[in-house]
Amino acid sequence: MHTNTTDLFTGLWLDYLAITPSAKKVHALLQQHDGQATIVNDHIALRTVNLPGLNVASLAQHFTALGYVQSGEYDFASKKLDAWHYQHPDLTLPKVFISELRVNELSSAAQTIIQKMIAQMLPDAVQADDFLYSGTHWQVSSQDYQTLLQESEYAAWLSAWGFRANHFTVSINHLHTFSELTDVNDLLLANDFRLNTAGGIIKGGAEVCLAQSSTMADSMPVAFTDQTIAIPSCFYEFAQRYAMGNGELYQGFVAASADKIFESTNVT
């Protein structure tokens, strides 16, 4: 495991950019408009399965070892997911949102494919410094990908992309030129970026102390055992946080909004 947050987040970021070319463009566009070299991340998100040694707690060790603390818990029944977020006492560090698929709730066909994938992993893989941006540790056929896709977009994404940041999230609160999410969305639309419209472009709002939007994932080639096909990779998210009654910015997540953000990796 990494011994500092800089190395960990740099590894995650470079891996993410390599398969998310639109994020690099959005990042440059925001830097240009904001007149700042640094774009602050609100959070990153990781996906995994609820299997022993690979569940959220297992992945989270990479963050808790660096001072992160488990915070909110979230339930996404229709997507068969549970999630937790972790945050650091130093709130300038990104929060981490990690979800796990309830493999036991899938069909036996899907469970078999996932078990076959996991069986190809080395026992101590999760302990490696770079595990959280190591991608797949298995080979999967395009047929298996399609079988998973029919049942769970999340499972299919994980089979193709493995362990890596599913998205990074720009903190609107830390931008200088922009203070409203809607203005950032307008800039992105004017520059021909595709935004996720599931549940509306903006998910949430002041009433739940968190407003979010996201691009649709890029389409990137994946080499399956039988053929290479382009499928959705990762997306970029934007979050604006509002003060709660006590005057402090809300630091949690809103399940109803996150439910729609997951759909940013849907095939469109």
Q: Which residues bind Ni ion (CB under 5 A)?
A: 45, 237
Minimum distance between the CB of residue 249 and Ni ion, rounded to whole angstroms? Answer: 16
Q: Give how far Cα 98 sits from Cα of 108, 161, 165, 229, Å.
A: 25, 15, 10, 27
How far is Cα 167 from Cα 25, in angstroms, rounded to an integer?
A: 15
Closer CB to Ni ion, 224 or 262, in the complex = 262
Minimum distance between the CB of residue 6 and Ni ion, rounded to whole angstroms? Answer: 21
Nearest to 9, CA basis, from 210, 232, 231, 165: 165
Minimum distance between the CB of residue 237 and Ni ion, rounded to whole angstroms? Answer: 5
Collect all residues with Cβ–Cβ distance below 8 Å to 237 and sequence separation of at least 6.
42, 45, 167, 168, 169, 170, 212, 213, 214, 215, 261, 264
CB 138 within 8 A of CB 125: no
Closer CB to Ni ion, 113 or 261, in the complex = 261
Minimum distance between the CB of residue 168 and Ni ion, rounded to whole angstroms? Answer: 9
- The tokens for 89 are 């006492």
Minimum distance between the CB of residue 257 and Ni ion, rounded to whole angstroms? Answer: 9
Q: Is 80 left (phi over 0), alpha (psi -120 to 50) or beta?
A: left
Closer CB to Ni ion, 45 or 54, in the complex = 45
Closer CB to Ni ion, 81 or 113, in the complex = 81
Minimum distance between the CB of residue 122 and Ni ion, rounded to whole angstroms? Answer: 29
How far is Cα 198 from Cα 212, in angstroms, rounded to an integer?
A: 12
Instruction: Give me the torsion for CA of 229, 55, 15, 40, rounded to 10°.
Output: 130
Closer CB to Ni ion, 8 or 45, in the complex = 45
- The tokens for 50 are 């609820």
Closer CB to Ni ion, 100 or 237, in the complex = 237
Closer CB to Ni ion, 129 or 153, in the complex = 153
Minimum distance between the CB of residue 258 and Ni ion, rounded to whole angstroms? Answer: 6
Minimum distance between the CB of residue 260 and Ni ion, rounded to whole angstroms? Answer: 11
Q: Give how far Cα 69 sits from Cα of 97, 118, 127, Å.
A: 12, 27, 19
